[in-house]
Structure 1
Amino acid sequence: MQETTDRTQFLARLGAAMAGASYPVTFVRQTLERVSAGYGQHNEVVALPNNVQVVGPTSREGTPVASASVGSALRFDQTFPLAQLVTRTVEGRVSPAEGQRDLNRIIARRRPYPAWVTVLGYGVFSAGLALVMEPTVLNLVAATVLGFMVGVMWTVSERVPVLAPVTPVLAAVLVAGLCIVGAQYLSLDHVGLRALIPPLAVFLPGLAITVSVIELAAGDVISGASRLVAGFMQLAQLAFGIFIASHMLGLDDAQLTSQAVNKLGPWAPWLGVGVFVVGIMLFLAPPLAFLPWLAVLAYTAYVAQYLGDLLLGGYTSGFFGALALTVAALMIARRRDSPPAVAMVVPGFWLLVPGSLGLIGVAELFGADGDSALPATLISMIAIAFGVQAGLVAWQLVRRRRQRH
């Protein structure tokens, strides 16, 4: 009985850690059931985004039940050792006691770099994204400086969790306010919404929307719908911050525009992707060995989106980017030391972003282009969602074909 209880408790904690690393609950449940079968016992698994419960087999002594709540989300660098633990557990090479110790080490793991490197990395990340979204000298400088500011806010909110719920709105107010004040000082006739995105990108719910699509497609409606609603609420928070800043500073709604501008040349976005990758390495701190794979993911997503834009236009180009990104992430995730595919999708989604275009669309609802913003935003998000689904289906079909041969 004690052995069964230990296994049940370990599986619940492992599932909670996987949920904290943004594994879809579908995969969490399937993994725990597979491990249970390896233990020679049948467990009932209930997996939700914030809680995992494992019910062990009934015996004379009773029925072991273990429940583990998902605390704070795991950082990107923590998902690498977690992925290794999941792989070893599925292969039957980890005892419950060893697994518990490994989980304790993963959760207690500190950031590989000091706080100032995180802040520096986010500034570089923001600069790279600015080169991709709206390459102008002014926007590049603003994105870098504001990126440092938001990086400080992000670092503080991580250390003082009570500030985390208000940080996105506060960051949006400050970023939008400083951009508006700067535009007024320079006598500019408008403020580009695309200029506001790079410093705020860390708050965009690309991962939540991605995972929700996977879960909804798998029939996990409760988890998928809750994540989707949470993602839209996060977008609304950011848009609300922009709205507050614009009205406090007397900016006319018509002066908020989403028109893309490139004053540096066609080479700028391609360089921006590389700068973006360097920023991710410093900000999210994955192992250095992951650098080439991260570059592959980022350029795969951008190239696919670029080609899709040439073929079908901007709003549906996300389908091709999401499709290519999903397949590439699934391929790289087969490596033993790689994090889950869904975690690797995050950097690429900051380039595609249901997030960035979604935030532009939601912000425009407050402005002059509100009538056309919502349909365009929905089309872009649906295109990316279908791209993710198409990538998953394509991957499964290829794997089945290989297994037959």
Structure 2
Amino acid sequence: MGHAAAGLDDLTAFLGRLTALMLRSSGEGAYSIERAVGTGARAFGGQASVILVPEAAVLSVAAADGRMRTVCVHGFPEVIRLDQVAALKPFLADVRAGRLGLAEANRRLARIEAAPPPYPWWLKFLGVLLFSLGFAPLVQPTWYEITTTAVLGAIAAALVVAAVRAPRLSKILPLVVSAVVSVVIIEVFTGDPAHGGPVLLTSRFHEVGLSEA
């Protein structure tokens, strides 16, 4: 059962926060943002539409009396943490079912946004490294491939971990990882032409080691 229509400003603020969180989490696709925001608006007696552009969304919210608000929401798309995915699904289900007032919905959304990472930095580092190593033998099953991927994966993992504490780095992380890895490949791993030139080695690692960055 839905709640009485919420104030337009309060509803716009809530939907703006929801849009920003989902936009930041849209690295795997943005198809669900409009559906979730529209559902949230209807649950509190309003209507909403979202126009998505790279790294931003234009959110329009309409109240039952015809008043409207339009805001621009920014968020750099990244891969969402799975713990936030797990928290968002029941949260949106409760909003849709009318089990939350707007104030409580705001508080729960804030807790989801502010939740600390569930794993320590060293485990994140290990996870990125193992992700890279797991794919290396599929590209070329040689010990040289595994060794180079271990070194390059460790570099990428260190940058991924550093980006957690440096928000500015996180915005250009793929570019930084690509540049650093390319320099290391050119300077360290292209001495023996039997293993391929720098372009081939770089493309191999980009296939297996950069998707987590």
Is TM (by shorter chain) over 0.5? Answer: yes
Q: Work out the CA distance in 2 between the residues paired with 1:123 and 1:145.
A: 9
Q: Work out the CA distance in 2 between the residues paired with 1:121 and 1:167.
A: 17
Q: Does 1:13 align with 2:23?
A: no
Tell me if structure 2 keeps the 8 A contact 1:20–1:71. yes
For 1:56-85, what per-residue CA distance to the aligned partner results, in whole angstroms no more than 9, with x for missing partners?
Answer: 2264xx825263623354632322212221
For 1:84-135, what per-residue CA distance to the aligned partner results, in whole angstroms no more than 9, with x for missing partners?
Answer: 2112212222221111111111111111111111111111111011122222
**Amino acid corresponding to residue 129 of structure 2 in structure 1:** G
Q: What residue ranges of structure 1 are gaps of 5+ in the alignment?
A: 204-405
Per the alignment, residue 174 of structure 2 pairs with 168
- Structure 1 stretches of 4+ with a deviation exceeding 6 A read none
In structure 2, the CA distance between the partners of 1:164 and 1:19, relative to structure 1 (3 Å rule), is closer
Per the alignment, residue 71 of structure 2 pairs with 67
**Amino acid corresponding to residue 49 of structure 2 in structure 1:** V
Q: Work out the CA distance in 2 between the residues paired with 1:130 and 1:76.
A: 24
How far the C-alpha of 1:184 sits from its partner, in A, is 4.0
In structure 2, the CA distance between the partners of 1:82 and 1:171, relative to structure 1 (3 Å rule), is same
Q: Does 1:199 align with 2:209?
A: yes
How far the C-alpha of 1:26 sits from its partner, in A, is 4.9
**Amino acid corresponding to residue 4 of structure 1 in structure 2:** G
Q: 1:152 aligns with which of 143, 151, 158?
A: 158
Q: Work out the CA distance in 2 between the residues paired with 1:167 and 1:155.
A: 11
Higher helix residue share: 1
How far the C-alpha of 1:144 sits from its partner, in A, is 1.6
Q: Work out the CA distance in 1 between the residues paired with 2:22 and 2:132.
A: 28
How far the C-alpha of 1:174 sits from its partner, in A, is 2.9
Normalization by structure 2: what TM-score? Answer: 0.77
Per the alignment, residue 117 of structure 2 pairs with 111
Stretch moving more, 159-168 or 139-148: 159-168
Q: What residue ranges of structure 2 are gaps of 5+ in the alignment?
A: none
Q: Does 1:51 align with 2:60?
A: no
Q: 2:39 aligns with which of 22, 34, 43?
A: 34
Per the alignment, residue 359 of structure 1 pairs with none
Counting only pairs closer than 5 Å after superposition, residues 93-132 of structure 1 correspond to structure 2 as 93-132=99-138
Tell me if structure 1 keeps the 8 A contact 2:133–2:153. yes
Q: 2:141 aligns with which of 122, 135, 139?
A: 135
In structure 2, the CA distance between the partners of 1:67 and 1:94, relative to structure 1 (3 Å rule), is farther
Tell me if structure 2 keeps the 8 A contact 1:175–1:199. no
Q: State the aligned residue count.
A: 200
Q: Work out the CA distance in 2 between the residues paired with 1:186 and 1:24.
A: 40
Q: Work out the CA distance in 2 between the residues paired with 1:121 and 1:150.
A: 11
Higher strand residue share: 2
Q: Work out the CA distance in 1 between the residues paired with 2:171 and 2:25.
A: 19
Q: Taking every aligned residue pair, what percent have the same amino acid on both sides? A: 25
